[in-house]
Amino acid sequence: MWFLILLLIVVLIGLLYFISWFVNYRKSGKCPLCALEKMGVPTKLTINTDEVEDYDSGAALTPPMGWSSWNTFKQNISEELILSTAAAMRLSGLTEAGYQYINIDDCWHSSFRDENGRLQGDLGKFPSGIPAVIEKINHMGMKVGLYSSNGTLTCEDLPASLGNEAIDAKTIAEWGCEFFKYDFCHNKKISGDAPVIEGIELNRPGKAVECTLKPEDAAFTGRAQIVNIKRLPSGKAVGLLNHNAGTATFRPVVELSGKYVLTLLIYKSFNLHHEQYLQIIVNGEIHEVFAQKTKGFNATGRLQLMVDLQAGENEIVLKNPVRTLADSSYTQYSRMAREIKKATKAVSEKTGNPEKPIIFSICEWGTSLPHKWGAKAGNMWRTTHDIMPFWKSIYLIYCHNIKLYKYSKPGAWNDPDMLEVGNGKLTEDENRAHFSLWCMMAAPLVLGNDIRNFVNEDGTAVENHPVLNIVTNRDLIAIDQDPLGKAAKRVKKVSGIDILARPLANGDTALCFFNTSSKPKGLSFDLNELAEDDYLGFDTHSSYNIHELWSNEKFSTSILSASMPKHGVKVYRISK
């Protein structure tokens, strides 16, 4: 009985607290319903990206191929290690097979930025500096990738790029970086809350205010509207911009083109204990401001930024598009994507050389379903958390990634993480299956093993090295790099065997039998069944030319029979 009474009291207190929050939030000029709607769909992108162009750097029309320092060496990297690995890439024949990126992952940084606020390499481990390392690797005929995170620190607690997107993009572009992995560690979610705006002032630097925009000058969409705030001198403000509720658009007219100071007059409500966020889109260019928490002693505060205005009419849109975690992630990765494009263009204009695009690798761990928005913000996106060098990890990642086949396309790829081929205690059959599955799924092929083991002391490639033979299988690589860019679909499951297929640019079809069980398995499969799936565009014939890509066996048939060891694969290229 006492328990029920106590529970009732707790519920009543909670209800009173909720009602108080709801009323006060609305009185402060915010939309409480919009704030609540985010709770049910944290991974859903509510930002409309229909009119947003793909990132499309032009540098990843096929899945990128290279090597990364992380899986094997983690924090134990140095200039000597990176340069010797690059040399091994060339001497082993990996570059000839298509691998071209040497990606230096976390821990290349010093723990502090230089006197100009720029990232710099570890002052002991990279004594020549990162630009010199990049130049040396470029002279070997390869490209270099670097790493940062969109949070306050990298995963290893080194300087990251939050708040420094522009200078970091400029730095890596000027250094000649051509691949950029952007992690999710120490991420700081963007608030869906938006400041309430009493007005906007515009003036040229050092000049008096030339134009004042009032709430009644705005055109509204969604739930955004004019709200009454008694504490403000005017008593009115632009409100309900929070949590993607709507937009307010102003169309100011100025006499001269050039730089202008845009001052937001914001309402400082009492005891705001969290940061607020607002986008100001000026003639199509996105600016972002963060209103810090406040005690609100004065009703009105100021936020300023510098913008470009044109003579005559301009457009200024106010909005906070962030409702969910997915909205926050998309906004943050899009911010760095914009800065990277600006930076590569600026370097080209400054040097007079052709623009050197940077592949932008979104490493958001699949938390907010980046396969649904990744193409708008980058060239590739991690679909899962980190891979590990054991079979269970590889298999679980495959199980998730294979379902996302329709999101891959030239310039935009699902990334099931780096290859663990040659690492841990994987068997040769598991190494082959791992590599085959990644090729079938049109995944980036980024090696994670110590490729220096592929080279003898005299500089020649180790003959018949089992791991080198796997990762240089040119027939499998051709499947991965097929210009059509359509990833494999799992078309059938038969008693422990997954059947995967993907259409190829020349009209051929790649087919993979994957034994997911821990016992040897076999099957017979009528190839004409592939015609039942429209995704494959497969035409039926009485017989097909078959090439098995591991044994190099070639034959003709319409009924394909095969047996695989546990965790083994057979991969075929089928032509008419």
Dihedral angle, C-alpha 400, 405, 409, 413, nearest 10 °: 10
d(CA 226, CA 218): 9
Query: For the segment 411-429, what is each residue's pLDDT rounded down to a tens digit?
Result: 999 999 999 999 999 999 9
Residue 267 backbone dihedrals phi, psi, to 5 degrees: -80, 125
CA end-to-end span of the chain: 78
**268 has pLDDT over 60:** yes
Residue 428 backbone dihedrals phi, psi, to 5 degrees: -60, -40
* Helices 391-401, 428-440: inter-axial angle, 10-degree rounding: 20
Task: Indicate yes or no: pTM above 0.75.
Answer: yes
d(CA 31, CA 531): 52
Query: For the segment 430-448, what is each residue's pLDDT rounded down to a tens digit?
Result: 999 999 999 999 999 999 9
What is the enclosing helix (H) or strand (E) of 181? Answer: strand 179-183
d(CA 573, CA 569): 13
Q: Write out the DSSP string of 238-294.
A: EE--GGG-EEEEE--EESS-EEEEEEEEEE--TTB-S-EEEEEEETTEEEEEEEPPB
Which stretch of 107-116, 289-298, 306-315 has the lowest confidence by average pLDDT?
Answer: 289-298
- Among residues 336, 330, 416, 342, the alpha carbon closest in space to that of 376 is found at 330
d(CA 277, CA 242): 9
d(CA 308, CA 312): 12
Q: Is 479 within 8 Å of 573 (Cβ atoms)?
A: yes
Q: What is the DSSP letter of 360?
A: E
**21 has pLDDT over 50:** no
Instruction: Calculate the CA 486 to chain-centre distance.
Output: 19
Q: In this predicted structure, what is the pLDDT of residue 570? A: 98
Q: Is 419 within 8 Å of 447 (Cβ atoms)?
A: yes
Q: Is 545 within 8 Å of 554 (Cβ atoms)?
A: yes
Instruction: Kindly state the tokens that stand for 87.
Output: 């040399």
Instruction: Kindly state the tokens that stand for 410.
Output: 């030239």
Q: In this predicted structure, what is the pLDDT of residue 7? A: 63
Instruction: Calculate the CA 199 to chain-centre distance.
Output: 36
Who wins on pLDDT, 7 or 312? 312
> Tokens 């005559």 appear where?
312
Confidence of residue 292 (pLDDT cuts 50, 70, 90): confident
Helices (H), 453-510: 466-471, 474-480
- Among residues 276, 227, 270, 263, the alpha carbon closest in space to that of 248 is found at 227
Which of 10-19, 23-32, 135-144 is modeled with the greatest confidence? 135-144
Residue 226 backbone dihedrals phi, psi, to 5 degrees: -80, 130
The residues, any chain, with a CB within 8 Å of residue 424's CB and separated by 6 or more, are 388, 389, 390
Confidence of residue 232 (pLDDT cuts 50, 70, 90): confident
Q: In this predicted structure, what is the pLDDT of residue 294? A: 73
**Could you give the angle at the alpha carbon of 305 between the alpha carbons of 303 and 310, nearest 5°?**
130
d(CA 301, CA 377): 33
Q: In this predicted structure, what is the pLDDT of residue 560? A: 97
Share of the chain above pLDDT 90, in %: 86
Q: In this predicted structure, what is the pLDDT of residue 408? A: 97
Instruction: Kindly state the tokens that stand for 130.
Output: 């990162």
Instruction: Kindly state the tokens that stand for 180.
Output: 């950029």
**Could you give the angle at the alpha carbon of 438 between the alpha carbons of 494 and 551, nearest 5°?**
70
Q: Write out the DSSP string of 129-174.
A: -HHHHHHHHHHTT-EEEEEEESSSB-TTS-B--TT-HHHHHHHHHH
3-state secondary structure 57-113: CCCCCCCCEEEECHHHHCCCCCHHHHHHHHHHHHHCCHHHHCCCEEECCCCCECCCC
Instruction: Kindly state the tokens that stand for 383.
Output: 């679909």
Query: For the segment 504-528, what is each residue's pLDDT rounded down to a tens digit?
Result: 999 999 999 999 999 999 999 999 9
Span 350-362, mean pLDDT?
A: 96
Query: For the segment 394-416, what is each residue's pLDDT rounded down to a tens digit?
Result: 999 999 999 999 999 999 999 99
Span 541-569, mean pLDDT?
A: 96
d(CA 67, CA 61): 18
Residue 344 backbone dihedrals phi, psi, to 5 degrees: -65, -35
d(CA 533, CA 539): 10
Residue 548 backbone dihedrals phi, psi, to 5 degrees: -85, 125
Q: Is 305 within 8 Å of 263 (Cβ atoms)?
A: no
d(CA 476, CA 148): 31
Instruction: Kindly state the tokens that stand for 438.
Output: 């990644």
d(CA 264, CA 170): 28
Confidence of residue 56 (pLDDT cuts 50, 70, 90): confident
d(CA 475, CA 548): 9
Mean pLDDT, rounded, of the chain: 93
Q: Write out the DSSP string of 6-58.
A: HHHHHHHHHHHHHHHHHHHHHHTT--HHHHHHGGG-TT---S--TTPPP---S
Q: Is 360 within 8 Å of 178 (Cβ atoms)?
A: no
β pairing state of 544-548 and 569-575? antiparallel
d(CA 382, CA 364): 6
d(CA 43, CA 216): 36
Buried/exposed 282-308: b ≥16 CB within 10 Å, e otherwise: beeeeebbebeebebeebbbebeeebe
Confidence of residue 95 (pLDDT cuts 50, 70, 90): very high
